[in-house]
Structure 1
């Protein structure tokens, strides 16, 4: 624009200058219109500061473009952090406007309907990436007369609701129509098929329902079709096959069913076809082989069956073939291996069988091959990396046999190799250690033999090596400590012999897991292992190690698991281990150890099973006293096998019998003369000894816990028990939940733990995640059960959001956003990283706790359950206001119900309101109330919590991004809800650009850590 003005200044004459002055005076009305438009806009950064009343020539203003006649033809005020409303009256006074762009601002208001009136020269209109709400405005009584020149229209990424106006079909010159990323609902207008000149149709990311109109088959000029992420049903219309100019079609994640129409094979120009994550059935039509321009084909996550047609060999341009997660079977056609441009082949989790095509990788620059979880057999294709482009080779869980191809060990492009759970034989080829990019090597659960190649320890990038459960023999490589980036080295269940190499200078800066159990390793455990300061797990059980336990291992600061059981170790347990605060599992059973068991640290609550088979250990948690055990009773140098001696077995049986007699005597005594021990007697036995079982090191005993169970320490009562705030003698504060116990839990004279207890013990005892409340241990006396949790100083999210006087705790949006991310990460761990999968079943703000830094922790797994896919449950799950709508009629609980409940919690964070409020009226709950606000003309902004700055345009923008995620999570149809992995990704993209201003507060009196 500046260059045009300079050129004009050089060539105008004096007469022309007078004419220009006259034109400027004529243009003053457009300048006035633009100033009127500016009056309704908030411009915090002064981007429109050059729009001045003193300048009657607006063509030099920011964002304004004029034609040679001086008329305003384009207005682009995008991405300038503007907010407010658009003046439709002002826009009507710009008759020459042909381009208008307000992209990436914060206009949280309806789009003025008069905006589309009397603009005959307008040919490009872009209002994308804003926050316009409400129903889409009409085009007047005659759209063709109002916008006769419009060829390009984009409203992508707004908050429009209601149906798509049929008036779009009466815009005669429209070529590009993009309405994606809003909340349009209803059916796709059939009249869109009348837009004969349309070449781009974008409807993705809405709430559209119904079937795809077969009339769209009349769009003969269409090149791009986007309808993904909607709620469509029905099948793909065969008429789509008439769109011979179509180049890109995306119909993923829409709920489409039925077969794939063979007519799609007529789309000779199509280069991309995405149909993944639908409910398509039937076989793949061989006619798809006629799409000769196709480059990307994704049919994954459907219910397709049958074989892959050999006609796919005609797709010579194909680079991506994704068929994973279907019911496909049979062999993979050899023609697939001969595709010349294939880069990615993903067919995992099907029922393919037979041999992999031998030509795979021979004709194409194959980059990513994943055929895992099938029934393939035979050898690995020898030329899979012939063109040195392969980065990921994933073949696990098949029946592959034969040796690892030697060429694979020279593939310089490899990042990861996963061959586990097959029947691969032979030796590990030399050369993997010299691959410059290789980070992961998984060969476990095969039939490999021979020695570990020494070159494997020369790698500069390898961080994970798993050779477990093979037939590998020989010694460990002497240079194994040279793997500077190695994080996990697992070689359990082999025939390894010799010693663990000792290197006083060993760096092993990254090593976290060392597992060499179930081998025949011997010699002493090297003290140099303590150089690996990041070690978390050391598993050396069931070997032939001798000598003493190196006390230096107690200096590893993060060590959690040390298993040295079933060896020939002698000497004492080094007392230094009682000072290792991180140690949670310590097992030295079945060795030749002697002397006292340490008394402090985790040894206070350790299980006696960790010390069995060492008859000369005494004290501590063991029943044997150290008094009277002299040198003559120490074990001999010959060692002792790990079997029970006969006298020891006899003693154990006698002791067990004695316990039964004593127990029976107590029952009879309590029976007051009765002849047998009844169930009622068992229920009255409150004096049974308490047993504390710890999942990590504890600094207190069961008596300390019992002393704290007083009424004044109660902080909450929930569906599964009473919660106490318990301060231990050491000053540590823990939360103790006393489970509700029914008399029905005692059967046949034995205590039966409640179902919720069993689940929490099995799950929480092993779960380790920063966003999940940690179960420290539990106490039981066979009648009552106490669960011991870490204490959360800032109570529950429900209390922080809704209790009177607590508004200061979550006083800014960034803090609430961080809490939302923490909850999402915790649920993502339960849904995707636990095996079997864990579904919480009662996600709510009362079960989200806040630690001293206001980080979120997920609590109360009393109703959690390990599930398999599609398992149904009969017990009631969830709390009122958080329960997914489909639960009322299906009683089916899966991860989608958790995602719905999480969406409700997001809405609580956004609005500051409870799930059920009187103000919701007929809306009944927060989800329907918010959806009503989105549909209303007043907008959603009024519903956002003003306490966190929702009146600020920037914060509104950030909160509305998260609102979209909440609405997706609370979709009525479970199929439409994203996975927690997707939620975590979407939240990361909505991250605020500011830091939190909330300061950590002291806990409130009476705040409950486990309501």
Structure 2
């Protein structure tokens, strides 16, 4: 970043005077234009470092010096600048009037920068411009007049800006245009009928705006058009029948556009069409028979509509078809058997319909199948045996059907499989050995079937398995002794599965968030080494036959929120340690044989409901309002006596060992301290300097941020991803600084990965997204710099914690906030490239600006703090997660 802008400007002016005094002619207009541009733009990444005019203009036989500058291309014969490529430089500022001196410029690329405000019409003074690319900036206001002056323009890309007002109808005078992309802004009104008059147009994208009205039939006159994207607007009506005239059309996307009525049968005449995307509308009726003429189609997506009737048998003729998505409609009947024989089929998505019959038994035999989701139908019969014939199947989603029989043994050889969901069927037999050997399996749900026999031990050797649910089966067996050894297992559920025997020791329980073993006949005690499950949040052991006392180690788990031990035969007292368990929210020990007082010195137990303790005649005190007798008060002694006894000899050995360990720790600790002290204060080169990566114009440096944080304790938030500080920069600008949790010393590979992710987040621009201004980093720490939101969070508003005096959460305000959040998330999920999944959306991550507009914060940040080894764990906080995500780690 250029930290001395005044010096840079002085240097540029000096260079101009130097050149004028050392030549007998005036400066070339091209050089004047370039130097004026350099001095007018803010360049935080110092990308103009090589634009140095001090060397000689040129040497005999060589081009001018500026033809060697980055981003510039010149014509070899005339030495005139023909191309200026300044993409992805985080530039901002204004284009100077001298820019019009670049009279020979044919290609101008300003994409991926931080330009804002109105687009400057000076760009339209370049008469020979053929390609103009300004995508992924923040240009606002209406599109300026004057673009018709660029008579030879063939390429116009203004995608992902903040333009408002009507579409610029003036572009229709550009008769050579072949490519127009005006998507991803806030253009409103209707699509002008005149947009159907481009004689050479091959690409038209108006998607992701706020366009209304009916789609003009005149667009059907664009006979050269090959790709049309106008989805994610707010049209009414259907697809014009005139679209049948688009004989060269290969790609048609009108998804998410509020269209209704029947599907237009005339679309079946588009015989060159390769992609037809009409999902997420309100189309009704049946799939037109004329669609069976689309024999060139590769991607057919009619999902998320209200279509009824059957799947046409003729779809089996689509030999080029790779993706078929008809999910979330009201389709009935059977799946055509021929779909299983399509040679190129990769994705088959038919979930949430009312389909019956069997799944085509040859499905997968083409060796290309990658994903099958036919969940939530009424399919019957066996699971096809060759679904993974080509070993490419990554996702197999069959839940909530009526499949019968045993699991195909061939699935245990499907090494590409990552997600396997077959819950809520009528499958039986034993679970084949080998699923635990699949190297990529992360999610497996076998619940609500009738599986029996032993639970394969290899499950718990699976290196990437994160979720395993075997609940509601009929195993009639014991839990494997290695059940907790899966290194990345986060959620394990085996409720109501007729399990017997004891709970195995918790050694190796490293990553589990949730354990459900309720509704079985497990016996014996709860293992004391449960404190090995240091990430445990939810523990459910209710409705078993457990005995012994409650291990006090449960109370030491740092994240535990829910414990249910009800309906067992536990004895002794409730350990007083639970009174200090600050994370605990629900604690149910009802219907056991517990005695003694309920802890009451802290803030946890007084807030619990009395029903959590009923069915224990010996419990007293606390919220039960039952006074404790002398015998009851002495019940604590029973707990102590039930602790394992230790002989005097054992105590001596333990004391000796403790002394030895303590001595070792003292010596090692002192060495570590000296090494750390020396490293931190004697060799800063190992930590490395702070680097500021800016995503728009910033008036401060990395040192300003670090200095400010060293003098402030204004912590305004703390969560699963880091601590947030309010920081005032030297120029008076207030920003929010999020210091990410991370390892003490990150590897170069890890650090580069984080910075690459941050760069993606820095390019996100939307009115309902908190803008990421920049990133400060060194080898030990990463800090994200955000714009500051003065009205706090939605969580503060709902719980009346805002510092403002006039903030009211009335229904109109709530609606406005909800709408803003939806628009922001929709942008992240559909308009970003690449798509960004938030991973930690909750009220505290929805901030409110000065106008009480919702701004989504912390998008994608949860991913940054995950380890290199596993990037698909449950990221962010566990407080609220969408139900399907909490149980599936992914929305299927």
TM-score > 0.5 by shorter chain: yes
Matched with 1:349 is 352
* Structure 2 counterparts to residues 50-89 of structure 1, below 5 A: 50-51=52-53, 55=57, 57=64, 58-67=66-75, 68-88=77-97
Distance 1:528-1:204 versus aligned 2 partners, 3 A rule: same
Summarize the Cα distance change of 1:413–1:227 in structure 2 as closer, same or farther, 3 Å threshold: same
| Aligned equivalents of 2:545, 2:530: Cα separation in 1 | 17
Deviation string for 1:190-228 (max 9, x for gaps)? Answer: 223222222122222223222222222222222221212
CA distance in 2, matches of 1:408, 1:631: 59
1:181 maps to which residue? 184
Say if 1:42 and 1:548 are closer, same or farther in 2 by CA, change over 3 A: closer
> Structure 2 matches for 1:795-814, cutoff 5 A?
811-812=734-735
Aligned to 1:480: 483
Instruction: State the Cα deviation string for residues 163-192 of structure 1 (Å, max 9, x = none).
Output: 333332332322222222333333223223
Q: Distance in 2 between matches of 1:583 and 1:198?
A: 63
8 Å CA contact 1:331, 1:354 repeated in 2? yes
Q: Deviations over 1:906-965 (max 9, x none)?
A: 9xx9996445xxxxxxxxxxx8xxxxxxxxxxxxxxxxxxxxxxxxxxxxxxxxxxxxxx
Instruction: Report the 3-state secondary structure (helix = DSSP H, G, I; strand = E; otherwise coil) of the residue aligned with 1:282.
Output: strand
Q: Quick one: structure 1 residues 43 and 793, their matched pair in 2 at CA, closer, same or farther if it must change by over 3 Å?
A: closer
Q: Please point out which of 113, 129, 138 is paired with 2:136.
A: 129
Tell me how far apart the structure 1 counterparts of residues 315 and 306 of structure 2 sit (CA, whole Å): 19
Q: Secondary structure of the equivalent of 2:450? A: coil
Instruction: Give the corresponding residue for 2:28.
Output: 28
Question: Cα offset for 1:435?
Answer: 1.7
Single out whichever of 400-409 and 605-614 deviates more from structure 2: 605-614
- Distance (Å, rounded) in 2 between the aligned partners of 1:115 and 1:285: 48
The match for 1:949 is: none
Change (3 A) 1:48 1:401: same
Matches of 1:242 and 1:173, distance apart in 2:
21
1:390 and 2:393 matched: yes
CA distance in 1, matches of 2:389, 2:409: 12
Cα distance in 1, alignment partners of residues 634 and 180 from structure 2: 91
DSSP 3-state at the match of 2:357: strand
Q: Which position in structure 2 is the counterpart of 1:414?
A: 417
- 1:614 equivalent in structure 2: 616
The aligned length equals 687
Contact 2:797 2:809 in 1 (8 A): no
> Scaled by the length of structure 1, what TM-score is found?
0.60
Task: Specify whether residues 113 and 570 from structure 1 end up closer, same or farther in structure 2 by C-alpha distance, changes over 3 A only.
Answer: closer
**Residues in 2 aligned to 1:272 and 1:793: alpha-carbon distance in whole angstroms:** 45
2:263 to 242, 257, 260: 260
Q: Tell me: CA distance 1:265–1:612, structure 2 relative to 1, closer, same or farther (3 Å).
A: same
Within 5 A, what are the aligned runs for 1:219-230?
Answer: 219-230=222-233
How many angstroms apart in 1 are the aligned matches of 2:325 and 2:615? 54
Within-5 A mapping of 1:239-638: 239-502=242-505, 506-601=507-602, 602-604=604-606, 606-622=608-624, 623-627=626-630
Please list the CA deviations of residues 395-434 of structure 1 after superposition, one character each: whole Å capped at 9, or x if unmatched.
2222333322222233222212111222222222222222
Aligned-residue offset at 1:134: 3.6
- CA distance in 1 between partners of 2:99 and 2:438 (Å): 63
When residues 596 and 204 of structure 1 are mapped into structure 2, their CA distance, relative to the original with a 3 A threshold, is closer
In 2, are the aligned partners of 1:595 and 1:626 still within 8 Å (CA)? Answer: no
The 5 Å alignment of 1:756-905 reads: 811-812=734-735, 848=792, 857-860=795-798, 879=810, 882=813, 884=815, 896=819, 899=822
Contact 2:367 2:388 in 1 (8 A): no
The Cα offsets for residues 260-312 of structure 1, whole Å up to 9 and x where unpaired, read as 22222233332222222222222222322322222222222222222211121
Give the whole-Å Cα distance in 2 for the aligned partners of 1:910 and 1:568: 48
CA distance in 1: counterparts of 2:40 and 2:424, whole angstroms? 66
Is contact 1:882-1:900 (8 Å) kept? no
Closer, same or farther: CA 265–514 of 1 in aligned 2, 3 Å:
same
The one-character-per-residue Cα deviations of 1:31-59 (angstroms, maximum 9, x if unpaired) are 34544555544445344742569849454
SS at 1:407's partner residue? helix
CA distance in 1, matches of 2:730, 2:119: 35
CA distance in 2, matches of 1:367, 1:615: 58
Q: Residues 217, 987 of structure 1: CA spacing in aligned structure 2 closer, same or farther, 3 A cutoff?
A: farther
Could you say what secondary structure the match of 1:236 adopts? Answer: coil
Pick closer, same or farther for the CA change 1:512–1:103 going to 2, 3 Å. Answer: closer
What is residue 151 of structure 1 aligned with on the other side?
A: 154
CA distance in 2, matches of 1:122, 1:555: 69
Distance of aligned partners of 1:878 and 1:176 in 2 relative to their CA distance in 1, 3 Å threshold? same
Q: Name the residue aligned to 2:881.
A: none
How far apart are the structure 1 equivalents of 2:768 and 2:212?
28
> Relative to structure 1, is the Cα distance of residues 595 and 170 closer, same or farther in structure 2, using a 3 angstrom cutoff?
closer
Give the alignment's Cα RMSD to 1 decimal.
4.5
Distance 1:824 1:158 in 2: 14
Alpha-carbon separation, structure 2, partners of 1:149 and 1:167: 14
- When structure 1 is superposed on structure 2, of 431-440 and 29-38 the one drifting more is 29-38
- Counterpart-to-counterpart distance in 1, 2:403 and 2:168: 57
Distance 1:373 1:861, change over 3 A: farther
Tell me if structure 1 keeps the 8 A contact 2:724–2:736.
Answer: no
1:109 is displaced (CA, Å) by 4.5
- How far apart, in 2, do the equivalents of 1:189 and 1:631 lie? 85
Shift of residue 473, structure 1, vs aligned partner: 0.6
Q: Which residue of 2 aligns with 1:165?
A: 168
SS in 2 for 1:456: helix
- In 1: Cα distance, 2:474 partner to 2:574 partner: 33
Residue of structure 1 in register with 2:745 after alignment:
none
Q: Secondary structure of 1:570's match?
A: coil
| Residue number in structure 2 paired with 1:5 | none
Rounded to whole Å, the distance in 2 between the matches of 1:336 and 1:484 is: 39
**Residues 825/419 of structure 1: CA separation in 2 closer, same or farther (3 Å cut):** farther
User: What SS does structure 2 have at the residue aligned with 1:74?
Assistant: strand
Query: Over residues 66-114 of structure 1, what are the superposed CA-to-partner deviations in whole Å (9 max), with x where a residue is unaligned?
Result: 32123333333343443332245x3444433322333334443444446
Shift of 1:28: 2.4
Q: Secondary structure at the match of 1:473?
A: coil
The secondary structure found in structure 2 opposite 1:191 is helix
The verdict on how the C-alpha distance between 1:203 and 1:166 changes in structure 2, with shifts beyond 3 A counting, is same
CA distance in 2, matches of 1:910, 1:38: 36
Contact 1:47 1:80 in 2 (8 A): no
Q: Secondary structure at the match of 1:518?
A: coil
Matches within 5 A, 1:661-700: none
Contact 2:538 2:560 in 1 (8 A): yes
**Maintained 8 Å contact 2:790/2:848:** no
Give the Å deviation of 1:620: 4.6
Distance in 2 (CA, whole Å) between partners of 1:32 and 1:486 is: 63
Distance 2:557 2:448 in 1: 30
> Per-residue deviation at 1:629?
6.9
Aligned in 2, Cα 1:412/1:988: closer, same or farther, shift over 3 Å? closer
